[in-house]
Structure formats: C-alpha cells, structure tokens
C-alpha cells in the first residue's frame, strides 16, 4: 500500500511538472512582419552573453543592424536586419539601473535614441538607433501595469468595471499613489506625442520605451489577464490594419499580464505571430515565415 502511495505521489509530481512546462507562462512568441521590401534577416541564440556581444560586432561588419534582444529560459537571442532606415546602431548594458540610466543619458548626448530594453542575468541591456525617422525618445517605469485601484475595481465590481474605471480615470491622475500605473504613464506619454515602442517587466518594475517617430501613423497596445483573450485582441487589431511590433509577459499580484504593442505604418503589409514552448521549437516556424517573405522582428517569453 505504501508503495502504491509513493507511485501515485510520483505521478502527481510528474503531471504537475509537465503541466507547468505547458502552462500559459511558458510560451516563446515570435513576431513577424511582411514589409514592403523584404530585408535580409538573421537571428543568433546562445547561453553565453559574451558570444552574443561578439556576434553583434560581427554582424555589424556585415552591415546588419541589431533590432531586438530577448532573454528567456537561460538563452540570449539577438535579431538582426539589413537595409533598415537606421544610420547608426549601438547598445549599452549595465548591472545596476542607476548606471543604466546614466548610460541612456550618455547615448542621448551622442545623438542616439533608445528603442528596446531587455533585462537578463542581472543586466539591463538597451538598443539605440540613429534614424531620420526618430526625433525623440524617452522611457517611463512603474511598479504596476494596472493601478491598484483598477485591480480592486476589476476584482470587486467586474460587471461595472469599465464604466467606473473610466470615470475615476478622468478624476485621479498618475500622481495619486493608488492610481499610479504603466497604463497611465503610456497615456501621459501619448498626450506628449510619444509612441510606445517596447515594454519590459524587470525586477518588479514595468519599463516602457517611447519614441517620437515620423513613419508611424497610429499606435496602440492591448493588455489582458487571459492569454486566450489576449490572442483574440491582437488578431482583431491586426484585422483592423495595425501591425504587431512587440509583446511582453509579466506578473502583477501573482496574476499574468500579456501586453502587445501595435502600429499603423505604410512600411508593413502584414504581421503575424506564432508561439512554441521554447525558442528551439520556434526555429522551424521562423524559417517557414522567411519562406513566405516575412521578417522575424521580435521575440517574447
């Protein structure tokens, strides 16, 4: 009987592990765009950060620009593209945020704009571009994506949440502690003429990257606590003519949040996404999209 109990417990543990591996939290999502003109596209993945840095410099020598960095499941992934509107390409990384902030300011002084941020292995990594289409860049960071007040309203008054939240949203601003959120920071930046380009969840903070860009007509984001709902929202925006640009997954109060950034631009004809449990499983799909003349432009875990 004891042996049977042990076998049952072991089976439960195995099922729990497998369930966790295939849960909503373990998705590697590739983002693809069919651009007006197909551009040479390359990606590199490694567990060794130094190898990634060496590859970036090798690809620069081959006239590729670094457009995306992603870290997940102990793997660094760099995405590169040729024939972009980027005139100069740079990166900076630091282990402390205060040092990273200074690195961003230094790049601004050199005329670069921050376009992408990633956090992995205790390091903040930023990608910077010089481009005639980017006139300004900035960033914001907050502890919550949805404010504490929004979360409480959603949990306690689910049926009336949209109406009440909309009213309160007009009354209280981001300076009120209960209502501080990345969502409000995005709204404030939008009022200043900035477009959300990238969002990163790192060290219990949401970090948003914003640009003023000439070649983007409209911009929006979608966010959801359910992955299935999130997929449908993204597909709906793609159907409406928006191009998928980036995605991010994070947690708030032990709840999963998925965010996607979408733009309207005449440089992109179509966009799509595909997900697998790990990056190596995604590779064949990247090649499939390449055959269809799509560029692999972004990755999210």
For the chain, what are the domain ranges? 37-146+181-300
Q: How far apart are CA 115 and CA 209, in angstroms?
A: 6
Q: Which residue has the tokens 């990606």?
A: 43
**What pLDDT shows up at residue 153?**
53
**What pLDDT shows up at residue 2?**
60
Angle at 295 between CA 115 and CA 87, to 5 degrees: 45
**What is the pLDDT averaged over residues 115-129?**
96
**What pLDDT shows up at residue 24?**
44
**What pLDDT shows up at residue 203?**
84
Q: How far apart are CA 294 and CA 286, in angstroms?
A: 9
**What is the pLDDT averaged over residues 60-79?**
96
**What pLDDT shows up at residue 117?**
96
Query: Which helix H or strand E contains 50, and what residues bound it?
Result: helix 49-61
Token pair belonging to 189: 């930046």
**What pLDDT shows up at residue 23?**
46
**What pLDDT shows up at residue 36?**
73
The yes-or-no verdict on residue 178 having pLDDT over 80 is no
Q: How far apart are CA 195 and CA 218, in angstroms?
A: 8
**What pLDDT shows up at residue 4?**
60
HSE-CB of 30 using CA atoms within 13 angstroms: 26
Looking at per-residue confidence, does 25 or 53 come out higher? Answer: 53
Q: How far apart are CA 203 and CA 208, in angstroms?
A: 14
Q: How far apart are CA 173 and CA 189, in angstroms?
A: 13
**What is the pLDDT averaged over residues 66-84?**
94
**What pLDDT shows up at residue 19?**
45
**What pLDDT shows up at residue 35?**
83
Percent of the chain, pLDDT > 70? 80
**What pLDDT shows up at residue 18?**
46
**What pLDDT shows up at residue 150?**
59
Strand extents, DSSP E, 22-133: 28-35, 41-46, 65-72, 75-81, 86-94, 113-120, 123-131
Residue range 229-288, pLDDT digits in tens: 999 999 999 999 999 999 999 988 888 999 999 999 888 889 999 999 999 999 999 999
**What pLDDT shows up at residue 204?**
84
Q: Which of 21-25, 37-41, 128-132 has the highest mean pLDDT?
A: 128-132
Looking at per-residue confidence, does 281 or 204 come out higher? Answer: 281
Instruction: Pick left, alpha or beta for residue 121 (phi over 0 → left; psi -120 to 50 → alpha; otherwise beta).
Output: left
Q: How far apart are CA 100 and CA 251, in angstroms?
A: 23
DSSP 242-287: PEEEEEEEEEETTEEEEEEEEEE-TTEEEEEEEEESSHHHHHHHHH
Q: How far apart are CA 267 and CA 243, in angstroms?
A: 10
Q: How far apart are CA 20 and CA 100, in angstroms?
A: 34
Residue range 2-21, pLDDT digits in tens: 666 555 555 555 544 444 44
**What pLDDT shows up at residue 123?**
95
**What is the pLDDT averaged over residues 197-222?**
92
Residue range 123-170, pLDDT digits in tens: 999 999 999 999 999 999 888 888 765 555 555 555 554 555 555 555
Looking at per-residue confidence, does 228 or 9 come out higher? Answer: 228
Q: Are 46 and 75 in contact (CB under 8 A)?
A: yes
For residue 117, what are the β-bridge partners?
A: 126
Collapsed DSSP state (helix, strand, coil) of residue 89: strand
Sign of the torsion angle spanned by Cα atoms 63, 89, 185, 144: positive
Rounded to the nearest integer, the mean pLDDT of the chain is 85
DSSP 206-246: EEEEEEEESS--EEEEEEESSHHHHHHHHHHHHHTTPEEEE
The yes-or-no verdict on residue 89 having pLDDT over 80 is yes
């Amino acid at each position: 009987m004891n042996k049977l109990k042990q076998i049952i417990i072991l089976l439960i543990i195995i099922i729990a592990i497998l369930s966790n591996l295939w849960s909503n939290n373990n998705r590697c999502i590739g983002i693809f765009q069919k651009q007006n003109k197909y551009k040479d596209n390359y990606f590199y993945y490694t567990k060794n950060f130094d190898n990634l840095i060496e590859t970036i410099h090798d690809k620069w020598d081959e006239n590729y620009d670094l457009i995306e960095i992603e870290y997940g499941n102990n793997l660094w992934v760099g995405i590169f593209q040729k024939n972009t509107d980027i005139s100069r390409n740079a990166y900076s990384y630091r282990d402390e945020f205060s040092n990273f902030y200074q690195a961003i300011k230094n790049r601004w002084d050199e005329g670069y704009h921050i376009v992408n941020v990633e956090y992995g292995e205790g390091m903040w990594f930023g990608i910077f571009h010089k481009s005639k289409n980017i006139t300004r860049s900035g960033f914001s960071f907050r502890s919550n994506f949805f404010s504490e007040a929004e979360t409480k309203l959603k949990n306690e008054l689910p049926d009336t949440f949209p109406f009440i939240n909309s009213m309160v949203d007009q009354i209280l601003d981001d300076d009120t502690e209960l209502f501080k959120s990345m969502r409000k920071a995005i709204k404030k930046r939008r009022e200043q003429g900035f477009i959300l380009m990238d969002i990163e969840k790192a060290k219990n903070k949401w970090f948003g990257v914003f640009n003023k860009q000439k070649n983007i007509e409209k911009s929006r984001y979608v966010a959801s606590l359910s992955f299935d709902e999130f997929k449908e929202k993204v597909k709906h925006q793609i159907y409406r003519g928006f191009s998928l640009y980036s995605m991010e997954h994070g947690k708030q109060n032990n709840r999963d949040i998925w965010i996607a950034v979408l733009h309207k631009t005449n440089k992109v004809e179509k966009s799509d996404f595909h997900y697998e449990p790990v990056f190596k499983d995604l590779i064949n799909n990247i090649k499939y999209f390449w055959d269809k003349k799509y560029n692999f432009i972004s990755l999210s875990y």
